[in-house]
């Protein structure tokens, strides 16, 4: 009999890998995560109310004790959550970079105009206040 | 003035000792220089401000890739630029190499000219660097397809259409491979030109170490595909 727990854990690792190298979020992904979260809550409630069921499930999957099954699933869940956070941070980083770049270039155009390196566009006054670069 | 259609983009991070000299050398040949100060903690920005180079300051440190994209965006917004040169701030590149590469691009045979330290005299490159850089090239499918010998060379010449098409999203050091793969995707005509890297003690202390090679490989493995 195959060890179902092994298949399950390997499947989670595969999902993590795929998510890692693919840009894989959006409405469908968002909904999937929310459903998974509620399923997780429901499973928790079930396990609290009927711990013997967890042991029964563990035995069916080739794991000795219910506590071990919970631990394995926790590890898998932690990996997914970590990855999710990583992807979120990377997206935030991308937006932050865009924002900083826009500000930096706008500021630079003012500063370099004051330094006489850029022509002032006609619709703006030649010198705009509040952008003087501190000279050493 | 000669070369007024060329913009040189120099990302700067904590280079107060050398940056003014580097800008001075570059401006002997190329009048248009934009230095992107990537949140330096030293007085790099003030040094640049004392030269004739345009200065763009990142409010915080964001990485060399981000600085390059900022410099390119700034230079592309100026009128009259046709060739865009990326140039390292630590004095490891020679201006005459850049000039030769611009001339190559002017002849019209290439959309992008990339510097390579391995076309001529590869023995001058320190052994550890050679291993790292060769490994990065070997592991990059696009580098192999374009038959490049050195993907992590900071000296490049891009024509305007190619520069406009670039979207550098890897803020760290993996941007070099990202640039190459975007060039390949855009079907740009890419040629390499031999350049000499001046391995001074100063530039050696700042260059890409073995450890950095690991970071580059990690960044590339998790970059968004598609």
Phi and psi, residue B193, nearest 5°: -130, 140
| Residue B58 in contact with partner chain A when CB distance is under 8 A | yes
Identify the three-state secondary structure at position B209. coil
Among candidate residues B14, B206, B67, the one with its CA nearest the CA of residue B129:
B206
d(CA A105, CA A119): 15
Which value, in Å, is the radius of gyration of the alpha carbons in chain B?
Answer: 16
User: With an 8 Å Cβ cutoff, are A100 and B69 in contact?
Assistant: no
Q: Judge whether B195 and B97 are in contact, CB under 8 Å.
A: yes
Residue pLDDT, tens place only, B92-121: 999 999 999 999 999 998 999 999 988 876
Neighbours of B43 (CB within 10 A): 15
Residue pLDDT, tens place only, B67-86: 999 999 999 999 899 999 99
- As a whole number, mean pLDDT of residues A45-57 equals 87
Of the two residues A4 and B6, the one the predictor is more confident about is B6
**Vertex B107 angle, CA B106 and B113, to 5°:** 65
Partners of B62 on chain A (C-beta within 8 Å) are 97, 100
Entry pTM: 0.77
Residue pLDDT, tens place only, B118-146: 887 666 677 777 777 777 777 777 777 78
* Contacting B residues, span 67-86, partner chain A, CB-CB under 8 Å: 69-70, 73-74, 77-78
At CB < 8 A and 24+ separation, what contacts does B44-47 make?
B44/B12, B44/B13, B44/B14, B44/B15, B44/B16, B44/B19, B45/A133, B45/B12, B46/A134, B46/A135, B46/A136, B46/B16, B47/A136, B47/B15, B47/B16, B47/B19, B47/B20
Determine the pLDDT at residue A125: 44
Cα B9 to the chain's mean position, in Å? 8
Share above pLDDT 70 across residues of chain B, in percent, rounded to a whole number: 88
User: With an 8 Å Cβ cutoff, are A100 and B169 in contact?
Assistant: no
* Contacting A residues, span 74-93, partner chain B, CB-CB under 8 Å: 93
* Strand ranges for B102-141 from DSSP E: 112-116
Determine the pLDDT at residue B225: 41
């Amino acid at each position: 009999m195959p060890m179902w727990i092994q298949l399950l854990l390997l499947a989670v690792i595969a999902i993590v890998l795929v998510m890692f190298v693919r840009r894989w979020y959006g409405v469908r992904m968002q909904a999937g995560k929310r459903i998974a979260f509620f399923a997780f809550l429901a499973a928790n409630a079930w396990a609290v109310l009927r711990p013997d069921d967890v042991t029964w499930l563990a035995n069916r999957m080739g794991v000795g004790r219910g506590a071990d099954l919970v631990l394995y699933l926790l590890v898998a869940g932690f990996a997914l959550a970590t990855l999710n956070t990583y992807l979120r941070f990377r997206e935030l980083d991308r937006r932050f970079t865009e924002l900083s770049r826009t500000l930096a270039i706008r500021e630079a155009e003012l500063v370099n105009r004051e330094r006489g390196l850029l022509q002032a566009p006609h619709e703006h006054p030649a010198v705009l206040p509040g952008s003087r670069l501190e000279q050493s | 003035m000669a070369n007024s259609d060329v913009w040189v983009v120099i990302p700067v991070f904590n280079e107060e000792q050398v940056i003014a000299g580097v800008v001075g050398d570059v401006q002997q040949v190329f009048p248009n220089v934009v230095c992107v100060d990537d949140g330096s903690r030293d007085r790099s920005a003030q040094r640049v401000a004392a030269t004739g180079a345009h200065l763009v300051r990142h409010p915080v440190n964001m990485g060399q890739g981000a600085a390059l994209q900022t410099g390119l965006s700034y230079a592309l917004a100026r009128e009259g630029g046709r060739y865009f040169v990326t140039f390292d701030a630590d004095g490891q590149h020679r201006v005459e190499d850049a000039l030769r590469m611009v001339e190559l691009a002017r002849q019209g045979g290439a959309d992008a000219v990339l510097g390579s330290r391995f076309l001529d005299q590869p023995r001058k490159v320190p052994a550890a660097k050679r291993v790292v850089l060769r490994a990065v090239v070997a592991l990059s499918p696009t580098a192999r397809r374009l038959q490049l010998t050195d993907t992590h060379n900071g000296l490049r010449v891009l024509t305007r259409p190619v520069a406009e098409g670039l979207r550098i999203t890897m803020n760290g050091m993996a941007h070099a491979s990202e640039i190459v793969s975007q060039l390949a995707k855009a079907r740009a005509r890419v040629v390499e030109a031999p350049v000499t890297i001046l391995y001074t003690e100063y530039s050696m202390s700042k260059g890409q170490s073995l450890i950095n090679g690991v970071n580059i490989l990690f960044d590339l493995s998790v970059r968004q595909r598609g």
